[in-house]
Structure 1
């Protein structure tokens, strides 16, 4: 029986999707702040776009975790940390949903056990 790492894939995919939603929310909040003339609002919008890119990296990591577990896990951890640095509290849920499968991908050994 070959391990397909389905749990890591699903959690990483959900985390990446929620990350994109959070990034869009940050971009919208930056646009709203810019419309009312708040200072620093363009920075929030720019960081929201970077968080969306990190979320896409998390989704790529979720796809890679099935074939290359350590690389996919590293991608998801980088996406979680980078997204949290960009938009902090907006990225708590996606960050947790990316850190857990990222650690599982890095720490879990590939098991190819064939039953006789």
Structure 2
């Protein structure tokens, strides 16, 4: 079955997640320079890792839809938890893409090469 929708939503969500993670890392670095300590650096790093995992899940959804869907769903929720406001937009892309990868049924018919 053609899973282009999940692939595109997952890649867009992962790329926007990278942007949110870099923004969180930047704000965390500024906060650390001013206050001496910041928790936002660790949270930005975890968001960066989960954004990479989301892109891997988006690629995997073409070959193993359930696994790719679970990776995107978990990544979307984890990004939303780790960088909250910066992670809303990536979560809006990743969570529906993950649910589509999990819930959508395969056609079951193999296309024959002409």
TM-score by length of 2: 0.92
Give CA deviations for 1:66-86 in whole Å, capped at 9, x if unaligned.
010000000000101111111
Which residue of structure 1 aligns with residue 56 of structure 2?
Answer: 60
TM-fit CA distance, 1:113: 3.7
Q: Distance in 1 between matches of 2:97 and 2:12?
A: 11
Moved over 4 A (4+): none
What 5-or-longer segments of structure 2 have no aligned partner?
none
TM-score by length of 1: 0.90
TM-fit CA distance, 1:4: 2.3
Question: Aligned residue pairs: how many?
Answer: 112
Aligned partner (choices 23, 32, 47) of residue 25 of structure 1: 23
Aligned partner (choices 77, 93, 96) of residue 81 of structure 1: 77
Tell me, yes or no, if structure 1 residue 72 matches structure 2 residue 68: yes
Correspondence 1:32-111 to 2 at 5 A: 32-37=30-35, 41=38, 43-111=39-107
What 5-or-longer segments of structure 1 have no aligned partner?
none
